[in-house]
Chain A
Amino acid sequence: MRDTMLSVRNLSLDFHLRTHILHAVRDVSFDLRRGKTLCLVGESGSGKSVTARALMRIIDKPGRLVGGQILLDGPDGVVDIAALPERGREILALRGGRIGLVFQEPMSSLSPVHTVGSQIMEAIRQHRKLSKKDARVRAADLLRQVEIPDPERMLDRYTFEFSGGMRQRAMIAMALACDPDILIADEPTTALDVTTQAEILDLIRRLQQERGMAMLLITHDMGVVAETADDVAVMRYGRIVENGPVDRIFHAPTHPYTRQLLDATMKLERGAAGSPATALFEAKAVEPVISVRGLTKSYGSVGKIFGFGSGNGGALKAVDNVDFDLYPGESLGIVGESGSGKTTLGRLVLRITEPTSGRITYRTAEGREIDVTDLNKAELRAYHRDVRLIFQDPFASLNPRMTVRQIIADPLLVSGKMTDQQAGEKVAELLKMVGLDPLAMERYPHAFSGGQRQRIGIARALALEPRVIIADEATSALDVSIRSQILDLLLSIRQRLGLSFLFISHDISVVRYFCDRVVVMHKGHIVETGDAETICTDPSAPYTRRLISSVPNPDPRNKRMLHRMRASS
């Protein structure tokens, strides 16, 4: 048996779009080795997903294979997948039979109207001559292998009854149904929480090693690469710019792009320099700007009109009895997984969502204390001038029908303090501050990239000279290199203007980089509050420890996830 299972040589793919041809993949070559993992890493639009799908000849409509070979080693010698007829029997036998695919969207990659069992059994019976009964036994066995509890019963469930992690496990079971030699995992954990991600990566790797499969793992996360890869190929704009063993890529990168990617990632690990003295805040020498006490938001079941069956009496508490203080000049991180209530908390503080109970006290610049939950509409507008929000989605948060100038000037003009011309000058100044060309102000948002749009959003937040900024996952929609640029921009603005930040994020490394203190949330409760460095290196609450140990470490010599704490449940 040869060591190399599959080798790709000079693969090129074109997309014929309406106005132009996009050369999505250009001259890409790599090898997949038995029992080894190759990580294909790159930012969005680098062509990594298309490359993976090309290996199975599943390319979306306008895409076209224009050159290269995909050589698969098999019992009957080497087959060039690229040369096989598009819909022939050989290619169908390869898909699922010799190459398995797991990909990103755990919500939509399984059919919602078929049971999990029927979808797995179908994969089995497509390649193996098994009776329905035998296929069911095997499907249950597969579910057991991917550690789904009570597999017999779960076979008859629908995917919407599964959690995200369970779906991804079912998807893996399906990909492994016919013992493929090669597993392609296309961003398998991107949509999952960090603890679930650790579990899934762990599972995939154990299964791969047990079965001696070759794996192609596609990801944008250098941490995941460091934790899982044997070899790495870095892709940018359709080309592989650098490849090699994982240790060399991380410790002796040669291509500037690889270095840039690593820098952006490593920087976050090190933490930002010069945090203000945290001790000062804790000694309460300064009064907090915002003080939250007993804040609670519960949803649902006040009284159902057509409530047949059993409606559970207890309402869902998205945020449950939360207390925290935000001090002037401080950056407070709020960290948690999806469903922890961190986004709701941010919205409650701004009263975009009305709290069920609790107090939010805001101390104005003049030192007056006001209760935010009691404000009327006009007072709330004044409060919103002081406390601003930066949104997560740089696309949805800018009105596409307004120019950048109109967007940024809107708060200035609404407050009625400026003439149109003054506002224009202010917009130019703000754009310069966030690193954009003031000449761009007559353009519409569609002319800007994601990172640039986020800068526009920041400029809008700064327009009214606020005192507090609430950043809700402000960097999570961005690619790594852009993420670190935006973080640096926020840092410099914060120091220059002496702002306080409530920084909401699921990404622990980002919070560690940006924040002085951190609040960890889990299921609506605060589990732990403390100094950022302490929380990230030596947390005391069990949940925090589990969370922190699940974060992949971008250093292949120190794989953190191997030693991670597993959930006690």
Chain B
Amino acid sequence: MLAYIIRRVLYMVPTLFGMSLIAFMIIQLPPGDYLTSLLSTMADGGQNLDEATIARLRSQYGLDQPVYVQYLVWITGILTRGDFGYSFEWNQPVSTLIWERMGSTLLISLASLFLVWAISLPIGIYSAVRRHSFGDHAFTFLGFIGLAVPNFILALTLMYVGYRFFGQSVGGIFSPQYADAPWSMAKFLDMLSHMWIPLIVIAMSGTAAMIRVLRANLSDELSRPYVVTARAKGLPEYKVILKYPVRIALNPFVSSIGWVLPDLVSGVTITAIVLNLPTAGPLLLRALVGQDMYLAGSFILLMGVLTLVGMLISDILLAVLDPRIRFN
């Protein structure tokens, strides 16, 4: 088991390396570099730097080095000092800006992941066991809609409905009066009242997808011989289904974190932009539009790492659940 975990972690290293390359590529992609943007802003402010200063700055930031050296400097900074570079727009190191936002991204992603599971598990079981019943068809149809409506359209629609029919201004995590207030029960409830829309929006497509996965897997498992064995023992039907096929169909359910999590993080990003939630999303968009590339690249890198860690956890969970994986 330990060997298995170590193997999975080692396996992650090249993937992480690849992700850092992608993030760095995005940093490098826009024409010009950090210094040209800095200079143009300074010029806007009426400041001008002489050639010598520019050259000094250039070598200070390592911008006169070849690209791979710049990458090495960047990645060494991250790995050794937790230094993600400097946010030009905010005039702060990226690392001071990023953690709180990533924290809330993680929190909302996890909350919606649990929501996905909580909803799709019972519905998936119901749909598989009562295949082609009215309820199954209804859920399947809803699932199709859930898959077809993009996150941001759903967010906009719910926002409009909330505004039009409940007079509630949705957006943000807190109402203005609680924004700076210390934590209290009232503040928590206020947060919940703001969170339901984003959570539903983010969890929607994931839930629909998971219901389909579970329904398909469970339908397969229901026709396996071991189900007949369980019936032949005299177990009541609910026990037959819950203890055997559902238990086995849970494995792909757990391993689904691998592909649901990137979707959820994506969903959190765009939904947060629409609903103005304090996660990484709006800041990322702003950084991208303003070409604040170290900030943007760091967000992209960390979001990738987040999903990778999620996959690692799902691999470990799967090994705990499924002896066939544990023993191989």
Interfacial residues, chain A to chain B (CB-CB below 8 A):
53, 56, 58, 60, 87, 92-97, 99-101, 103-105, 108-114, 119, 122-123, 126-127, 158, 160-161, 171, 174-175, 177, 306, 308-309
Asked if A100 and B232 sit within 8 Å, CB to CB, the answer is yes
Does A111 contact B248, Cβ atoms closer than 8 Å?
yes
The residue that A109 contacts in the complex, of B6, B228, B234, B323, with Cβ under 8 A, is B228
Q: Are B233's CB and A308's CB within 8 A?
A: no
- When A and B form their complex, which 5 residue pairs have the shortest distance between CB atoms, in order from nearest? A96-B234, A95-B234, A101-B232, A96-B233, A109-B225
Partner of B231, one of A95, A175, A308: A95
Q: Are B6 and A308 in contact (CB under 8 A)?
A: yes
The reply on B286 being an interface residue by CB < 8 A is no
A188 to chain B, nearest CB (A): 12
A171 to B226, CA, bound (A): 10
For B247, what are the chain A residues with a Cβ–Cβ distance below 8 Å? Answer: 111, 113-114
In the bound complex, do residue B231 and residue A112 qualify as a contact, i.e. CB atoms below 8 Å apart?
A: no
Using CB atoms, name the residue of chain B closest to A124. Answer: B233
* Cβ-defined contact, B235 with A105, below 8 A: no
> In the complex the two chains form, is A126's CB within 8 Å of B234's CB?
yes
Name the residue of chain A whose CB is nearest to the CB of B251.
Answer: A113
For residue B165, which residues in chain A have a CB less than 8 angstroms away from its CB? Answer: none
With a CB–CB cut-off of 8 A, which chain A residues contact B224? 108
* A105 neighbours in B (Cβ, 8 Å): 225
Interface string of B304-328 (1 = CB under 8 A from A): 0000000000000000011110010
Q: Which of A60, A99, A101 has the most CB of B within 10 A?
A: A101
Task: Give the residues in chain A near B244, CB-CB below 8 Å.
Answer: 111, 114
A/B interface sample: 22 pairs, CB < 8 A:
A58-B228, A58-B232, A87-B236, A87-B237, A93-B234, A94-B234, A95-B231, A100-B232, A105-B225, A108-B225, A109-B228, A111-B229, A111-B244, A112-B324, A113-B248, A113-B321, A114-B247, A122-B233, A158-B324, A177-B233, A306-B7, A309-B3
A residues near B49, Cβ cutoff 8 Å: none
Partner of A58, one of B7, B11, B231, B322: B231
Measured CB to CB, the nearest residue on chain B to A306 is B7
Considering the complex, which residues of chain B in the window 225-279 have a beta carbon less than 8 Å from any beta carbon of chain A? Answer: 225-226, 228-237, 243-244, 247-248, 251
Query: Given A113-B323, A113-B324, A309-B3: A123 and B225 within 8 A (CB)?
Result: no
Name which residue of chain A comes closest to B321, CB basis.
Answer: A113
Q: Which residue of B lies closest to A95 (CB)?
A: B234
CA distance A243 to B292 in the complex (A): 87
Distance in Å: Cβ of A47 to nearest Cβ of chain B: 17
B-side interface size class: 20 to 34
Complex: A112 Cα to B224 Cα, angstroms? 11
- Whether A308 contacts B3 in the complex (CB less than 8 A), given A111-B244, A171-B229, comes out as yes
Chain B interface helix/strand/loop/mixed:
helix
- Do B235 and A122 have beta carbons less than 8 Å apart? yes
A101 contacts across to B, CB distance below 8 A: 228-229, 232
For A109, the chain B residues whose CB sits under 8 A away are: 225-226, 228-229
Tell me the minimal C-beta distance from A86 to chain B in angstroms: 9
Which residues in A have their C-beta under 8 angstroms from that of B321?
113
Q: Is the CB of B234 within 8 A of A108?
A: no
Chain B residues within CB distance 8 Å of chain A: 3, 6-7, 10-11, 223-226, 228-237, 243-244, 247-248, 251, 321-324, 327
**Interchain Cβ contacts within 8 Å, total number:** 89
Q: Could you tell me the distance in whole angstroms from the C-beta of B282 to the nearest C-beta in chain A?
A: 41
| B234 and A127 within 8 A (CB) | yes
Are A97 and B234 in contact, with the CB atoms below 8 A?
Answer: yes
Minimum CB distance partner of A157 in chain B: B323
CA A306 to CA B14, docked complex, whole Å: 14
Contact B234 A112 (CB under 8 A): no
Q: A97-B234, A109-B225 are in contact. List 18 more A-B contacts (CB 8 A).
A: A53-B228, A56-B231, A58-B231, A92-B234, A96-B232, A96-B234, A101-B232, A109-B228, A110-B226, A111-B229, A111-B247, A112-B323, A113-B322, A160-B327, A171-B229, A174-B229, A306-B7, A309-B3
Cβ-defined partner of B233 (8 Å) among A95, A114, A306:
A95
- A57 — nearest CB in chain B belongs to which residue? B231
Cβ B233 vs Cβ A174 within 8 A: yes
- Closest B residue by C-beta to A123: B233
Chain B, residue nearest A99 (CB): B232
A99→B225 CA distance, assembly (Å):
17
Whether A111 contacts B234 by the Cβ 8 Å rule is no
Contact between B323 and A158 (Cβ–Cβ < 8 Å)?
yes
Contact between chains at A158 and B234 (CB < 8 Å): no
Q: Which residue of A lies closest to B3 (CB)?
A: A308
In the complex, which of the residues B232, B236, B324 contacts A160, with contact meaning CB atoms closer than 8 Å? B324
Bound complex: CA of A92 vs CA of B233, how far in Å? 8
| Minimum Cβ distance to chain B for residue A337 (Å) | 23
Chain A residue numbers with a CB within 8 Å of B226 are 108-112
CB distance from A253 to the nearest CB of B (A): 33
- Give the residue name and chain of the B residue nearest to A93 (CB): B234
Whole-angstrom CA separation of A384 from B323 in the bound complex: 44
Complex Cα–Cα for A87 and B234 (A): 10
Chain B residues, Cβ within 8 Å of A87:
236-237
Contacts of B233 in A (CB 8 A): 95-96, 122-123, 126, 174, 177
Residues of chain A with a CB closer than 8 A to B324's CB: 112-113, 158, 160
Residue numbers in A under 8 Å from B223 (CB-CB): 60
Docked complex Cα distance between A56 and B230 (Å): 12
Complex interface: chain A residues within 8 A of B251 (CB): 113
CB closest chain-A residue, reference B247: A113
Expressed in whole angstroms, the minimum distance between the Cβ of B307 and any Cβ of chain A is 23
- Which residues from chain A contact B10 at a C-beta distance below 8 Å? 306
A161 to B226, CA, bound (A): 17
A93 to B235 Cα, complex, angstroms: 9
Cβ–Cβ < 8 Å partners of A175 in chain B: 232
User: How far, in whole Å, are A93 and B6 apart by their CA atoms in the complex?
Assistant: 48
A355 to B138, alpha carbons, bound, how many Å? 57
B58 CB, min distance to chain A CBs, angstroms = 43
Chain A residue, CB-CB nearest to B223: A60
Q: Which residues on the B side are within 8 Å of A58 (C-beta)? A: 228, 231-232
Cα A103 to Cα B230 with chains together (Å):
12
Chain A residues with CB under 8 Å of B231's CB are 56, 58, 95
Instruction: With both chains docked as a complex, state the minimum distance between the C-beta of B47 and any C-beta of chain A, in angstroms.
Output: 56
Cβ-closest chain B residue relative to A118: B243
Contact A158 B327 (CB under 8 A): yes
Query: A87-B237, A109-B226, A111-B226 in contact; A308/B7 too (CB < 8 A)?
Result: yes
A44 to B140, CA, bound (A): 36
Task: Name the B residues within 8 Å of A126 (CB-CB).
Answer: 233-235
Q: Which residues of A contact B225 (CB under 8 A)?
A: 103-105, 108-109
Tell me the complex Cα distance, A60–B231, Å.
12
Once the chains bind, are A95 and B3 in contact (CB under 8 Å)?
A: no
CB distance from A50 to the nearest CB of B (A): 12
A123 and B243 alpha carbons, distance in the complex (Å) = 13
Q: How far is the CB of A271 from chain B (nearest CB, A)?
A: 37
Task: Give the residue of B3, B6, B229, B235 whose beta carbon is less than 8 angstroms from that of A92.
Answer: B235
Enumerate chain B residues within 8 angstroms of A119, measured Cβ to Cβ. 229
Report the separation of the CA atoms of residues A99 and B321 in the bound assembly, to the nearest whole angstrom: 32
Q: When chains A and B are docked, how far (Å) is the Cα of A161 from the Cα of B326?
A: 12
Chain B residue with minimal CB distance to A159? B226
Q: How far is the CB of B71 from chain A (nearest CB, A)?
A: 26
Q: Which residue of B lies closest to A111 (CB)?
A: B226
Min CB distance A189 to B, Å, is: 15
CB distance from A472 to the nearest CB of B (A): 27
| Assembled-state Cα–Cα distance A112/B236 (Å) | 20
